[in-house]
Structure 1
Amino acid sequence: MIKLPRWASIDPEVQKKLDAISVDLRPKRWYGRAKAVVNFKDEILIQGRLIQQERCAWCTLPLGAEGRRTVHRDHIAPSSLYPQWTFVAKNLVISCEYCNGLAVKSDIDTIKELKHTYDDCEFHIVHPYDDEVELHIQFDNDRDQLPVVIKGISPKGLWTVRNMKLDDAGLARERAKEVFYEQRGQLRLPAQEEDLIVSALDAMNVAL
């Protein structure tokens, strides 16, 4: 997971128009073409990709053309369950299609204790903006300190890793491939060994 320094900044006039939408209509309006909605979604996407440096908030893998992963706007508290926060910028992150898809997050209930205001709610999930991620989730420390295998180290971290499937073998494999390609110049492997590793990683791509 990524600890995010801030969420997207939305024009107050745009936010005012969105806040005026009836709560029960907000999830449906999310898919509409009203100017305020389009403006909000554009800013979430543009600013979110910049803030997150083109990485998924949950699995940390690269997005877009570089990572060959579709970029999604992901409601931390699902709008289907909590329509009141459909247009709250702090409730949105940028994620990949896997982490935001039906097989993982989808409409899972991420709120432990519902309160009147968003900031007062208690979350099951590690919140990318509010929580110090490293207190809940860490990469397993091997001798090289490589960011490959994720583990939860608190009740909230364990919940997040389990429910978001962050310890999935496929994700670990993708992170391992990324680490290798980023650090291959520092590894100083004999050419023959590096060729073998590259071939193995390419085979993984074919298998996936």
Structure 2
Amino acid sequence: MADPLPHKLRSDARDNRERILDAARGLFAAEGLDVPMRKVARRAGVGPATLYRRFPTKRDLVVAAFAEQMRACYVVAEEALADPDPWRGFCRVVEEVCEMHAHGRGFTDAFMTAFPDAMDFAGDRERALRSIAELARRAKDAGLLRRDFVLDDLVLVLMANRGVHAASAAGRVAASRRFAALAIEAFRASPDHAPLPPATRLAPAPPRA
């Protein structure tokens, strides 16, 4: 008869990992990436040793917690790029990415942070940005997106969107949708637009320990 203990250990390890990731996502969403690792362990109901055995660094924990959202962001950009109407696709990116980021500060912080050695995570981010840049080029060529738009303008929108606060998660998402609509109107090509000030290059922040 097979010994059930190894299977139980594997099951417990999986449960611990999911509890840690659920706790991390909740805390990161509420407080950003500055949450101490020990606080994540307490929320998950595991000891610090268990947390560090699964995720030796904050970077490891952040990448695991938000890998799915990063992939979803990339899919949004790719689907928008496939839209034959580049302006509609561009608007979809602004709306959906702002809404994704409105669900928690943690994902915005993770998106804005440089993880050069987390190739899948960083790769999805860079591929999403390249797709959005190509979409913006097409929208400009169609005369629908203002000519002085640069990709860092979308990053500015996400940074500002991070500061949206409301009494509830639903209220935060509703406010984010309104903010996205205002941003889209600012991005729309118009002969009445005054030129923008010079763009500033926004470098990703270094990972938090």
TM-score bracket, shorter-length normalisation:
under 0.3
Structure with more helix by fraction: 2
- With CA pairs under 8 Å and 6+ residues apart, which has the higher RCO, 1 or 2? 2
Q: What TM-score does the superposition give when structure 1 sets the normalisation length?
A: 0.27
Higher share in strand: 1
Larger radius of gyration: 2
TM-score, normalised to structure 2, is: 0.27
